[in-house]
A and B are shown apart, each in its own frame.
Chain A
Amino acid sequence: MESLCNKNPNYEEKGVGLLPDSILVFILSLLPLKVAVRTSILCQRWRYLWTRVTAFDVDLLSYNETKPSFYSVMRRLTSPILRRLCVISNNPCTVSDPRCFKLACDRKVEEIQVTLMTLTYFHVPPCIFQCKTLVNLVLDITLFYIFDNIAMLLESCPLLEVLDMNVDCPLSSPLICIIAPNLKSLSFKMRNVIDQHQVIIDAPKLTYVYVISGGLVINFVKDPTVLDTAHIDLTYLSFRGMLEGMHGNGFICQICKFMARLSNVHELHLESNMKLFAYMHLVGSMPLFGNLSYARMILSRSSGVNEFLLFLQIAPNLKEVFVTLNYDEGNPLADMRQSAVVVPGLLLNNLECVNITGLQGNNDEVSLVGYILKNAIGLNHLYILVDVDNAAEDEDARHHFTKNVPAP
């Protein structure tokens, strides 16, 4: 093929420089703005090509004092369309000019991505949440204010498919409604629990959800039937919330309800330092994750084994599971009554791959591994990593395992 091409003299002479302007502008739109601007110096023809790009992608991290004015650069762009606005900065001043976002929204922006690598307040311009053309919104900002009517958020962005934001902020209203008919991927992250927020999601096309549930209580208006993957991180939950949970109506009860709504998923990622499944078991409301085939979990050391066994009961079609035991204790639910758990062996029939790390070699763990070996008849991959602090303990643990785990 290559030799054929080389025979034709036409193709040896022509460089990429001979592509039509429209394609060159398309190529420039795929580049960081800085690189696109630099092509202005190539030759006369390229002088103003960059001003026709449809993307504004700038990394301001390397600028200290002589920052370019975000807005003045953006105003030089001549295309009536700005598809992508993507800014990374460590200085909120550089990205907080609301005129930039206004301009982007006026130019039918489809994707906005703001990354602010510093702990500071940033006012998200309201126009973003009213942008009719927005498809993809990523706000990676540690602390920020959302404008007052967050309750109405996104109802005005009918095309939105991806929403990824931190909500580590005091809100004027404890209720957040996400009404998004086309939303496919939702990442809602709250690490700093300032207050308890109620989130109501009405997104019938949701296939992916990622929640760091600091103080968030999440409800779906309807069961998310097409949800395929859920990633839930419960390790930032407040102590206060969990204590309230013990009395029925607080966080943990809400979290359990939320988990139950996720029961259609095929893939589950869970990070938890509390006895979530034990609680469900205790109150007698274990959801059935009938479709689940892949799970990855990080659980606490002391309750993890029991939690995992309980989890196996509600995931009968699980094929592949990765478990890491590593969270330290120190939460109020750690003392909750521990009931001995036995999973019917039948439920392990579909397990093909089990990967457990962070084990310390205690009796519970040994019986867990033994139990899996005995009952998971389809198992073809078992990986166990014992993780202890010193060599002597390590030797002990190893010995313990090799002696007590039955051969398959």
Chain B
Amino acid sequence: MASSSSSSLSRVVVKSSDNNLFVVNKKVASQSQLLKQCIDNMEEKGTNDVILIPLSNVTSNILTLVLEYCEKHADFADDDNNNQELKQWDHEFLKKFDYATLNSLTMAADYMVTKSLLNLCCQFIADSIKDLTVQQIRQIFDIKNDFTPQEEADIKNENAWAFR
């Protein structure tokens, strides 16, 4: 009979969409609910083999970043007191990326169900667009204005309080 303790896995292998393999420590992988779910399922089945988890939506560049985040947060998982240091690290971590990378990272965090990373990315994006003009937001997000001048005037009129 396979009890869950006898088949406890210590590491998993994660495969990126461009077919690169990453060996990930279980504690680090558990930062992602998606990976954790896979591991839990395998452990329940009592598998002793190293398991391979393919992530069809995440490239190795982005996966490297997600795993870097998970590794850091796994280190702090048992320790509430270092929150300040971790927050600082989070901020420095995201500051490095352009919007395109940030975008992919956000999507990966969503896909891999790494809630704290998703929150972090969204908060970072929210903070960075808070003080921008409409034109600047369009530019950064590469959004094409597909409104006619009349439509645009109507929208402004409809929500006049927000456009003053």
Contact = CB atoms under 8 A, between A and B. Distances in A.
A35 B129 contact: yes
A73 interface: yes
Interface residues of A, number: 41
Contact of B137 (A12, A32, A42): A42
Contact of A1 (B65, B146, B164): B65
B164 to A, nearest CB: 8
A328 interface: no
Given A37-B159, A41-B156, A63-B161, A16 B126 contact: no
A49 B147 CA distance: 15
Interface string B122-164: 1101100110001001101111111100001001100111111
Interface in B57-104: 59, 61-62, 64-65, 96-104
B61 A41 contact: no
Contact of A47 (B144, B155, B156): B155
Contacts of A34: 161-162
Contacts of B125: 16, 27
B59 A37 contact: no
B143 A41 contact: no
Nearest to B68: A1
Contact of B122 (A23, A32, A73): A23
A19 B103 contact: yes
A232 B102 CA distance: 44
A42 B134 contact: yes
Task: Give the most central of A33, A38, A73: most B CB within 10 Å.
Answer: A38
Interface residues of B, number: 44
Interface stretch (A2-10, A147-155, A343-351): A2-10
Interface in A39-60: 39-44, 46-47
A43 B145 CA distance: 5
B106 interface: yes
A43 B147 contact: yes
B102 to A, nearest CB: 7
Contacts of A32: 130
A13 interface: yes
Contacts of A13: 100
A8 B161 contact: no
Contacts of B65: 1
Nearest to A3: B61
A26 B62 CA distance: 21
B140 A16 contact: yes
A15 B99 contact: yes
Contacts of B24: none
B104 A14 contact: yes
Task: Give the most central of A4, A16, A34, A37: most B CB within 10 Å.
Answer: A16
A383 interface: no
Contact of B61 (A4, A66, A67, A68): A4
A42 B143 contact: yes
Given A14-B103, A39-B137, 6 more contacts: A11-B61, A26-B118, A38-B159, A42-B141, A42-B143, A66-B164
Interface of B: 59, 61-62, 64-65, 96-104, 106-107, 110, 118, 122-123, 125-126, 129-130, 134, 137-138, 140-147, 152, 155-156, 159-164
12 contacts: A5-B97, A12-B100, A13-B100, A14-B103, A15-B99, A15-B100, A15-B143, A17-B143, A28-B126, A42-B143, A66-B164, A68-B162
